[in-house]
Amino acid sequence: MDILHLTYFIEVARQLSFTKAAQLLHVSQPSISKMVRKLEDELGVILIDRSARRIKLTDAGQALYERSIKIVDSLQNVAKDLEDLTSGSKGNIRIGIPPMVQTSFFAIAIGEFKKQYPNIIIELIEVGSKAVEGMLEDGSIDIGVVVLPIKSKAKFSMFAFIKNPIWLIVYPEHRLAGRDFINITDLKDEPIVMFRKDFALHDHIVEKCREYGFEPKVLCESSQWDFMVEIVTAKLGIALLPKLVCDKLAIDVIKALPIAEEISPWHLAVMWKQDTYLSFAAREWLQYVACLFGVTIELD
């Protein structure tokens, strides 16, 4: 018994006529009669009573008809679901993303993407860049946004999309607030609110301070840039953030200053693991984001 047998039988049962069913299915009447007879032989029951002038379903035929409709409908739904998945119109995407990235473009990008693909579910997992790399490695996420450079380039494909300098933020009454710029050595004795160790920016700041002969005086560590800003506005410490984030802060409560000695910039890239399966939804997202930044990518 296969889907073709069931399809022919369903149409005969609907029309209660081999002739009409054959016409609707565009096959010969002998072919459809033979197919139904073969189905009866296979199941070992009589499905259609042919003894009267007008055929009718037997009890077994009625039972098979009701079940066959559900089976064929289910198979058609499976085919439609697969078509949706392969066309990228349905699916799930898990994206690892540092919290600060959403202040740049992701909120708008996701909104526009959802207009085109309302049935694709995007799950954002907010973690630091180093954690994103690890989650891509073990398959916990499909796509990640990371801060360059990364350690394991050979394992991943990627494209860069934002490069932004790191600036210092202080409260308006701070001793450095009146300066046009600051030097790294100005931070030597300042309590600094740092990102957690799973953020690439944490390492970049520590490395730059060590380059100039001191360890940063860490007040606390956080994964949330807005919390860091609150600590600064409370006059408890200073913080270093990408300029893109600093530009969004109110100038009456925060003073942002450039740094003379460049810390490794906040250089972002979209990244995915090589030699692994990418869903059609994930492929659509990658193509969409790459197009936003005028990048051409090739997906195997």
Residue 85 has pLDDT above 80, yes or no: no
The parent domain of residue 271 ranges over: 90-163+267-292
Same domain, 150 and 183: no
Same domain, 45 and 114: no
Residue 114 has pLDDT above 70, yes or no: yes
Per-residue CA distances from 154 to 18, 150, 274 (Å): 64, 10, 8
Q: Tell me, what's the pLDDT at 81?
A: 59
Confidence of residue 176 (pLDDT cuts 50, 70, 90): very high
Mean pLDDT, residues 175-198: 95
Same domain, 155 and 18: no
Same domain, 144 and 78: no
Q: Indicate whether 299 belongs to any domain.
A: no
Q: Tell me, what's the pLDDT at 173?
A: 96
What CATH number is given to the structural domain containing 9? Answer: 1.10.10.10
Same domain, 156 and 278: yes
Q: Indicate whether 228 belongs to any domain.
A: yes
Last-in-domain residue among 38, 65, 86? 86
Same domain, 193 and 231: yes
* Cβ neighbours for 74, distance < 8 A, ≥ 6 positions apart: none
Highest mean pLDDT, choosing among 73-82, 92-101, 232-241: 232-241
Q: Indicate whether 222 belongs to any domain.
A: yes
86's tokens: 């392969």
Q: Indicate whether 173 belongs to any domain.
A: yes
What CATH number is given to the structural domain containing 178? Answer: 3.40.190.290
Q: Indicate whether 96 belongs to any domain.
A: yes
Residue written as token pair 């005969």 = 12
How many structural domains comprise the chain?
3
**What digits encode the pLDDT tens for the residues 59-83?**
998 998 888 888 877 776 666 556 6
Same domain, 139 and 69: no
Same domain, 108 and 150: yes
Q: CA-CA distance, 270 to 286, in Å (whole number)?
A: 8
Closest CA to 195 of 256, 125, 147, 253: 147
Q: Indicate whether 187 belongs to any domain.
A: yes
Q: Tell me, what's the pLDDT at 77?
A: 64
Same domain, 25 and 74: yes
**What digits encode the pLDDT tens for the residues 139-154?**
889 999 998 888 776 7
Confidence of residue 88 (pLDDT cuts 50, 70, 90): low
Residue 108 has pLDDT above 90, yes or no: no
What average pLDDT does the structure give for the chain?
A: 88
What CATH number is given to the structural domain containing 158? Answer: 3.40.190.10
